[in-house]
């Protein structure tokens, strides 16, 4: 019997980046849930229960920090790991995200796809999982 795949919610409004991240994480053995705005991300997080969330800060309809605050209001999501994907490397939004339990930050201009997969695996304590297709 195979082990259940970990679910990753990617909340990102840049459709090309969303597709690239989704493809890479799927090929790395994860079940991927996509959301292109904060409202959809919150709804999918609350209904599909991801194991980890990759969250953009600047998104339409609801920004990532607001989405995170609303998610953390629910007891069962207080400990869900969240990694922020952003172009913003400082400021009030970053401070607010930290206050609401963000696990890590990846500045979009500073990482490669393999870095994202590695970070996700670290947060989920899955270091032994291979990066190749399954």
Mean pLDDT of 2-29: 90
Which of the 8 DSSP states describes residue 130?
-
Residue whose entry in the numeric block shows the structure tokens 């996509």: 34
The verdict on pTM exceeding 0.75 is yes
Share of the chain above pLDDT 70, in %: 78
Q: Which of 115, 56, 118 is nearest to 87 (CA)?
A: 56
Task: Look at residue 91 and give its three-state secondary structure.
Answer: coil
Strands 52-56 and 82-86: parallel
Domains of the chain: 7-123 (3.40.50.2300)
**The pLDDT of residue 129 is above 60:** no
């Amino acid at each position: 019997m195979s082990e259940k795949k970990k679910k990753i919610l990617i909340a990102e409004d840049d459709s090309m980046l969303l597709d690239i991240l989704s493809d890479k994480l799927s090929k790395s053995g994860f079940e991927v849930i996509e959301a292109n705005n904060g409202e959809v991300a919150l709804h999918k997080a609350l209904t599909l229960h991801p194991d980890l969330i990759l969250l953009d800060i600047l998104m339409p309809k609801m920004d990532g920090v607001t989405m995170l605050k609303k998610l953390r209001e629910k007891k069962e999501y207080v400990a869900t790991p969240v990694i922020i994907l952003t172009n913003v490397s400082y400021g009030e939004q970053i401070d607010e995200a930290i206050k609401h339990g963000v696990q890590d930050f990846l500045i979009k201009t500073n990482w490669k796809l393999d870095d994202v997969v590695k970070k996700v695996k670290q947060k989920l304590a899955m270091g032994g999982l291979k990066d190749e297709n399954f």
